[in-house]
Structure 1
Amino acid sequence: MLKIGTQNESTRDRWVIDSLKKISKGKSILDAGAGESKYKKYCKHLKYISQDFAKYDGKGDGKGLQTKKWSVNKIDIISDITKIPIPSKSVDVVLCTEVFEHIINPINAIIEFKRVLKKNGELIITAPFCSLTHFAPYHYSTGFNRYFYERVLDKIGFEIIELSHNGNYFEYIAQEIRRVPSVSSRYASDRILTYSAKVLSLPYLILLQFLSNKDTNSYELLCFGYHLRAKKL
Structure 2
Amino acid sequence: MNLFKKVILKFILTNQASSVGRNNEENRHKWIEKVLQNIPDGNRILDAGAGEQPFKKFCTHLSYVSQDFSQYNPNNSGVGIQKETWTYGNIDIVSDIINIPEPDSSFDAVLCTEVIEHVPDPVKAICELSRLLKRKGLLIITAPFCSITHFAPYHYSTGFNRFFYEKHLSDLDFDIIEIESNGNFFEYLAQELKFLPGVASKYAKVKLNYEEKIYINSLMLMLDKLSKADTNSSELLCYGYHVLARKR
TM-score (norm 1): 0.97
- Which of structures 1 and 2 has the bigger CA Rg? 2
Q: Which residue of 2 aligns with 1:16?
A: 32
Q: Which residue of 2 aligns with 1:82?
A: 98
Q: Which residue of 1 aligns with 2:60?
A: 44
Listed as ranges, the matches of 1:53-202 within 5 Å are: 53-191=69-207, 193=208, 195-202=210-217
| Structure 1: stretches of 5+ with no match in the other structure | none
Q: Distance in 1 between matches of 2:213 and 2:100?
A: 46
Secondary structure at 1:29's aligned position in 2?
A: strand
- Sequence identity (%): 53
Aligned AA (1:7): N
Aligned AA (2:177): I
Q: What whole-Å deviation, never above 9, does each CA across 1:49-80 have from its counterpart, x for those lacking one?
A: 00000010123421000002111131110000
RMSD: 1.1
Q: What whole-Å deviation, never above 9, does each CA across 1:120-157 have from its counterpart, x for those lacking one?
A: 00000000000000000000000001000000000011
| Structure 2: stretches of 5+ with no match in the other structure | 1-16
For 2:241, which of 223, 226, 231 is the aligned residue? 226
Q: What whole-Å deviation, never above 9, does each CA across 1:152-201 have from its counterpart, x for those lacking one?
A: 0000111100001000000000111111011112222222x265543321
Q: Distance in 2 between matches of 1:39 and 1:92?
A: 17
Quick one: structure 1 residues 124 and 194, their matched pair in 2 at CA, closer, same or farther if it must change by over 3 Å? farther
Secondary structure at 1:59's aligned position in 2?
A: helix
Secondary structure at 2:181's aligned position in 1?
A: strand
TM-score (norm 2): 0.91
Contact (CA 8 Å) 1:51, 1:75: kept in 2 or not?
yes
Tell me the matched-pair count.
232
70-79 vs 41-50, which moves further: 70-79
Q: Distance in 2 between matches of 1:182 and 1:79?
A: 35
Quick one: structure 1 residues 107 and 205, their matched pair in 2 at CA, closer, same or farther if it must change by over 3 Å? same
Q: Which residue of 1 aligns with 2:221?
A: 206
Aligned AA (1:215): D
